Every structure is written in structure tokens, then in C-alpha cells.
Structure 1
């Protein structure tokens, strides 16, 4: 896949003040993105619920610290140029206090979350007129401890093509995060959802890592899950077919066997799951179109049961 060309209008950061970026959420994606942005010279504030001593990222066997500003109180922040919202989809509403304080007239909010309907989730939480950029995230990373992130593979962000995409690519030029503007974002967001639809639920339910998909029966189950979802995606206007199913299964087959999924990491850490924004999104869209999805519906029932148990455990 070709990289986005460097825009001729990218400002010289040595001659101009660095862009002010706030990253909401210090999970795997938030920590990784915040670190890369800081190492590239951007002015980065990491917005978190619980205090962190510092931030460090492990990648390629090397551990490197990132000197970001860490803030736990929305009252201590002011509007910035860019907000990168990296919380889990189920935690979006909890970021409203941060979003209201960080967004000014020129602020752009980039939503780096799984699932579809990102813009619809965020628009009610920001000041009227705030620009919101939905983003498909291709980053395999794992939060191994508070303020500690392990990057496994990939550093790509896909966004709807247009002026905001060009500005986002310019912002992140030199960070190592590759921004790809795409003309058909509906298809792009469903293709990313595909990468999660079998891997996330099955690894979380089984509490096993990606190597489980080497089992031919698991691969066959994944194929059937994805075929159900493909019919729903097409009804939603996405150009999804057998080639996408084959591509996803190939991705599973060649992923590092000790890698995991965000939903697996959440279950292992005792955190609530994001099933409603992955499997749940497919089942709800299927209902709108009168499409039967028995396998995905079964997974959703099981995931809801696991999630109830996790939430009950957090309240004890």
C-alpha cells in the first residue's frame, strides 16, 4: 500500500510552534500514538482518569520513554489544535468532560476507536460545529501495565479523504503513523470491523491468543461468522465480499501467534468488553435489514454474559 505523499505545505516545526495535541485515553492505542507524536516533536498532553508516573513504549525489543504531559483533571486543560480520542467505544461518553474543555473553534477531534458510527457517537459530546474525523486504526498494541505499552505490528490510520484528511496527514508526518485517505470510508470501516469480528470475540471467549486460528475448525468458524457479516455490510452500502473474507483469514493466519486482540486484553485485565460496538453493531444492522445472523447473535449472547461477570467483579 502506497504511503501518503508528504504535503508541500507541511510547516517547518523548527520555525513554528509545534501543534498542540491532546490524547484522551492511555490504553494501548492512546499510549502508542501519544508517544510517537511526542517523539516527532509535537506538544502532547495525555488525558487519563488515573494518575500515571510516566509513559513508555516497547517496540522491536526496545523500550523508550515519552515525555508527554499527563493530566487527570479536565479543569487543567485548555483548547488544543487536535484531540485524538482513543478510549474504548464503550467509554466514549466518559470523555465528554475532556472534550468540552479541549475543543475550541479550530479544534479537530480524530476518533481512533473500533466499530462503526464513530462520528455519530462523538458529535453530541463536543461543542456545536466541532470538526470530527472518524479514523480506522490498524495498530496491534497491548497495554501491559499502567503507562506501559507493547507495540506488536502496524501503524496505519485510514480516514475519509478530504481537507481534514490532508491536515491529519500533515500533522502526523514524521511520527511513523501512516495516514491513508480513502474515498469509500463506509467500505473501509467495515473492512476494519471484519478484522475484529472473529478475532476479538473468539480470543476473548476462549482466553487464547491469535495462534488459535491455526486450528482448521476455528478458521472455518471464522469464515462462517464473516460470511454472515458480509451480507450485513453490503446491505449497509459497503463493498464487502469473499475477497475480504479471504483477506481477513489470511491476516489471522500470518499474525504473530502470541498476539492478541483488544477484547482479549480487556478480559484478561478484568475490564468491560466492547462487544456491543463490534458483534453488536453487526447484529443490530442485520435486524434493520431483516438479515439472519445466528452465529454472530450467539457470540453476542455469550459476550454479554462474560461482560456482566466482569462488571460485577469490578463492583465487588
Structure 2
């Protein structure tokens, strides 16, 4: 399965609008030009108009028609400020402070998404993860029934018949250090949605542990077992099981032996790690030793899509994340 080509094709079909609040940043500008040229999205570069247009000119794209929007000059800014004040006044936000916030491209981008003027936003080439998600969590918030934002990687393993012909979703590998059972269940449900919407595969979700179905006794095993029960209660139609050791989750003959009757064991394509240490180590082991492509991290759990870039992201990385965000906004 060529995952990125599928994502590109779906992004072209959807024609979504993606806000880029780091609109004068060189890589972001070049990525916006490429995304527009490829038809992946309608990108909007946010920032000081003079600075953004200078960056566009430097990138050779001044006449290419990528939209530039300066929050300090926007005719929608007063209405956004009113809406933000209404949303946050119980938290002590004054109208004056709301006006100041919407002049910030990051908060303006979040308000664009909240008000339906953009389908998602992408940031992080120069901003921290906290700066990217703070406006999103205050304004867009998480999806109904999902208490936290998490992250996933789509792993494409060459010459592999396991999972979905070598394609897996791994979570959480970048955000939540030690999720409790309720949070772990939420990560599992959000990851299943990522598998469906982004990869186009029917999820078979395994919550991983060093134990399979009570083969070991420990509080860490109990956490995964409880998370499995919570997730099953919330989504009884979902193919999901745990706790499962990795081999029992993805190797058919071991799954049949260790977890007979499981709807997932031996054929899982969505792997939920019990904590960030396991998830981060796990995806990097597969990436480096199996020479797998690691697409992400993809943010999940927001009511509308917001994605955070690595500050070392390449232009190609940013183009890919713009396309991913567009597909998540379907």
C-alpha cells in the first residue's frame, strides 16, 4: 500500500483549506507553493503581510496565488475576537485580551478552524508543540468523548505481510508519557479513527503489554486490561483486544496459541503502546532496523485537525503534513 500516494489522492479530491500560521517561514512558504501546485489543499499563509509577501517573492511564488492573510488587518478579526471572548470569558478572558490574541497568527488560525473558515492548521516549524496546541485546546478542543490529544505514526514496513500488508498505526509515540487506563482507551479509539480516515484500512486494535490475557500479574498489566475494557465498552463494534504481547498481536500462529478466539490476535494493524517510552522506542526500532517509513507524528483526538511539525521538518515533510491535515478534515 502506497500510503502517501493514497493520502495525496484523497487530499486532491477533498479540496480542503489549511491555515499555516508560520506564514513567513521559508520552508512553510515553499511547502504551501508545492501543496497548491499539486492540488493538495488551499493553503493560507498567515502573518504580517509585508513579511509573508517578501518570503513568497524570495521563494519565487509571488504570482502563484497562494493566499496571504494578515490577522492584524483582517475584517473578520473583530468577529473572531467577540467569539473568542464568548468562548473564554468564564476563564477570565476580557474582550480586550481576546482582540490581542486574534492578532496572533496561531490564535487566528485556531479561530479560522473553529468558525469554519479553514479545515485545519499546521504549525511547528518554528513554534514549540505547546505553542501549536495551546490555542487548539482552548478554542477547537478535543473531539466528543476523547479527553486528550495523542499522536500516531503510520508505519510502512517493506516486504512485510503482517498488519495490513506491512502497514501499521503505532500510538502514542510522541505526546503522552504515561496515560492512565481512561486515556489509553481514548488513544486506542482515536488511533482506530486514524487508521480508517487516513490509511483507509479497517482497524484491528491491539493494546500491547508484556502479558497476554493474564499470563503475568502486575499493575502495569492491570492498566492495559482496564483500558481494553473501557475501550470495548465505548466502541463495542470495534475489533479491539488486549492485553496482548507484541508477537501475539501480529503473528497469526502465536496469536492463535496465546489468545484463542481473539478477534484481533495475530492480525492487528493498530498497535497501542502502554506508555510513551515503549511507543517511542518501538517505532524507532521498526523504522531503523526494518527500514520502515514512519509517517508522522499525526495528531489525533482534536475536534478538527491540527498538526505539529518537527522544528527540523523538511519542505517535503511539511507538504505531507498539509495533505494529512486535509484528509483528517474530511
- Would you call these one fold, judging by a TM-score over 0.5? no
Q: Identify which of structures 1 and 2 has the higher relative contact order when contacts are C-alpha pairs closer than 8 Å and 6+ apart.
A: 2
Larger Rg: 2
Give the alignment's TM-score, normalised by structure 1: 0.33
TM-score (norm 2): 0.32
Q: Which one has a larger percent strand, Structure 1 or Structure 2?
A: 1
